Amino acid sequence: MKFYVMVLVYVLVVGFVCYVGLLVFFQTKRGVPVPPKGAAVLISGAGTGFGRLTSYEMAVKGYKVYAGVLSQAEGEKLLKDFKEKNLVGDITPVELDVTQEQQVQAVFKLLNKELGDQGLHMLVNNAGIGLGGPVELVPVEHFNRVIQINLVGHVRVTKEMFPLLRKAKHARIVNITSAAGKIAAPFMSAYSASKFGMEAFCDSLRREIPEFSVSAIGPGFAKTGIVQEGHNYLVDLVKNAPEEIQKYYETKIQKVNKQHENIWNTAMDPQVVVDQIIHALTSPNPKVRYAVGIQAKTLVFLCWFLPDRLIDFIIAKVA
Residues belonging to the active site? 191
Cβ pair 271, 53 in contact under 8 A? yes
Q: Which distant-in-sequence residues (6+ apart) come within 8 Å of 33 by Cβ?
A: 170, 284
Q: Which distant-in-sequence residues (6+ apart) come within 8 Å of 302 by Cβ?
A: 183, 311, 314
Cβ pair 186, 138 in contact under 8 A? no
Q: Which distant-in-sequence residues (6+ apart) come within 8 Å of 234 by Cβ?
A: 132, 133, 187, 253, 256
Q: Which residues pair with 93 in a beta bridge?
A: 67
Please state, in angstroms and rounded to a whole number, the distance separating the CA atoms of residues 65 and 82.
12
Cβ pair 33, 170 in contact under 8 A? yes
What DSSP string describes 20-46?
HHHHHHHHB--SPPPPPTT-EEEESST
Please state, in angstroms and rounded to a whole number, the distance separating the CA atoms of residues 223 and 308.
29
Q: Tell which residue, 151, 155, 157, has the closest CA to residue 195.
A: 151
Please state, in angstroms and rounded to a whole number, the distance separating the CA atoms of residues 121 and 171.
5
